[in-house]
Structure 1
């Protein structure tokens, strides 16, 4: 089946389970959409909603036993998770539409979460301007693959913009 306009095949994705840990120490598995490319390596097809450190387009090495992923090659995309509570549906729709208008895409949505993916060439100022326009109450957003666990920039985008 051919890829769609945004480069994502409309056929069903394979999924791998990655372990996610909350700030309180609770763990759960997130199924992340991938395509196997051999030797335990996978192309991430959709940015995850909870697992940190990867985005759509990245190639990862998957450790099935520990349910972890290690970056093999960055795909040049920035993952953003927008957590919201009580936002009007039109605000969410506007966020999604504007994300697409500036070059991003919507990779997932739950009742209180929207997962966005942007080519790094869109630029952090444009992404932050979009997210800064959201109402202050009931919204938290974060980059999924820009900072390490200590909050330091990963800087994988240096020279890419």
Structure 2
């Protein structure tokens, strides 16, 4: 197995236990770069299906079929999986508030695809609707929370309109 195909053991029998982890290059606002390993299933030599929405890489969500560029460590969407990724960064928010929020997200049709100390990654079927997602987000405190759609806008802030 090549370096870029590290197999992740998710340790959860409710999901497939082995994913191909693709390193995708992310860049911070100050220009620093790092690789985020995104869980996928291999379809062909360069084509993969995203299994879990990423926390930092923009433009893709769970269910998307992507073409992977191993050199640039980028993904080009071939087919959208009809899911919306939401990345929520939080600081100073009590754990019980975040836990309650995640329960509400599941109740409106979403799922939690990842979590770090200050990050929650959610995936919603696009049929949930943007108003429902935004109403859910409005339940979080305004202070200490920044959130954004992971696959709704391009790098210039223009809507991708794939859901139309």
TM-score (norm 2): 0.90
CA distance in 2, matches of 1:26, 1:75: 30
**What's the counterpart of residue 17 of structure 1?**
23
SS at structure 2 position matched to 1:38: coil
Match status 1:81 vs 2:87:
yes
**What's the counterpart of residue 144 of structure 1?**
150
**What's the counterpart of residue 104 of structure 2?**
98
CA distance in 1, matches of 2:45, 2:34: 26
Match status 1:50 vs 2:24:
no
* C-alpha RMSD of the superposition: 0.9
CA distance in 2, matches of 1:102, 1:95: 11
Gaps of 5+ in 1: 1-7
Large movers: runs of 4+ above 2 Å: none
**What's the counterpart of residue 3 of structure 1?**
none
Gaps of 5+ in 2: 1-13
Matched positions, count: 151
SS at structure 1 position matched to 2:18: coil
**What's the counterpart of residue 120 of structure 1?**
126
SS at structure 1 position matched to 2:41: strand
TM-score (norm 1): 0.92
> How far 1:113 moved relative to its partner?
0.0
> How far 1:39 moved relative to its partner?
3.3
> How far 1:83 moved relative to its partner?
0.2
CA distance in 2, matches of 1:101, 1:57: 20
CA distance in 2, matches of 1:96, 1:10: 22
> How far 1:12 moved relative to its partner?
2.4
